[in-house]
Amino acid sequence: MDKLLQIQSADDILPVYRQTPIGLLLEFHNLNRPFETYDKAQLLIGMCMDNRKHLTMPDNFAFIIRSGGANLRHSEFKVSYAIAVGQVSHIALIGHNNCGMVNLISRKNEFIDGLVTTAGWTKERAEEHFMQFAPMFEISNETDFILSETKRLRLRYPRIVIAPLFYLVEDNKLYFIEES
């Protein structure tokens, strides 16, 4: 967590993101900036599907893709759609602490038992499902994954401004992840 940069005032927003939709997101969420009216999305937010996270921002301000660990590898068509059709030129990629996609293998039995009990699957089918997909969605740690996903997306979409952000569940605030 030593890579996190606090945003407690507009001056804490990194200069590259000031006066951009990413800076506005940080002002709306962390600094209680009064909402403005939007009729079209200003940016794309990629964030985890975790139910503990809720962003404070105006209606119509952003497209949002929620995926385990904020992993957009299997949502690239949606990212491309937001850029091509929605004409967004900024992406906020938001990870969070205590993410369930970290050390996913440790939740294997819970996952399998849950599919058997809740969904009515056989144990064999649930285990096969876990073993097929868990390697695609496992992340080593939250900040490193967001930084690597930011780098990957910057290479894929070189004209798009992408910010690696972090949501701290304990205080419900957004932070920059320091890039080296």
Provide the residue range defining the domain that includes 27. 4-102+140-177
Asked if 102 and 140 touch (Cβ cutoff 8 Å), the reply is yes
Q: What percent of the chain has pLDDT over 90?
A: 91
- Claim to verify: residue 73 and residue 13 sit in the same structural domain: yes
- Claim to verify: residue 38 and residue 124 sit in the same structural domain: no
- Claim to verify: residue 97 and residue 108 sit in the same structural domain: no
Residue scoring higher pLDDT (14 or 139): 14
Asked if 177 and 165 touch (Cβ cutoff 8 Å), the reply is yes
pLDDT of residue 1: 58
pTM: 0.93
* CATH code, domain carrying 59: 3.40.1050.10
pLDDT of residue 116: 98
- Claim to verify: residue 68 and residue 124 sit in the same structural domain: no
- Claim to verify: residue 46 and residue 81 sit in the same structural domain: yes
- Claim to verify: residue 17 and residue 28 sit in the same structural domain: yes
Say which amino acid occupies 171: D
Residue scoring higher pLDDT (140 or 20): 20
Burial of 89 by CB count in 10 Å (0-12 exposed, 13-18 middle, 19+ buried)? Answer: middle
Tokens representing 26 are: 């940080």
Give alpha helix (H) positions in 19-103.
Answer: 21-31, 76-84
- Claim to verify: residue 39 and residue 61 sit in the same structural domain: yes
- Claim to verify: residue 24 and residue 93 sit in the same structural domain: yes
Mean pLDDT for the chain?
A: 96
What pLDDT, in 10s, does the model give residues 74-115?
999 999 999 999 999 999 999 999 999 999 999 999 999 999
- Claim to verify: residue 62 and residue 18 sit in the same structural domain: yes
- Claim to verify: residue 109 and residue 162 sit in the same structural domain: no
- Claim to verify: residue 67 and residue 111 sit in the same structural domain: no
Q: Domain total for the chain?
A: 2
- Claim to verify: residue 21 and residue 55 sit in the same structural domain: yes
**CA 146 to mean position of chain CA atoms:** 8
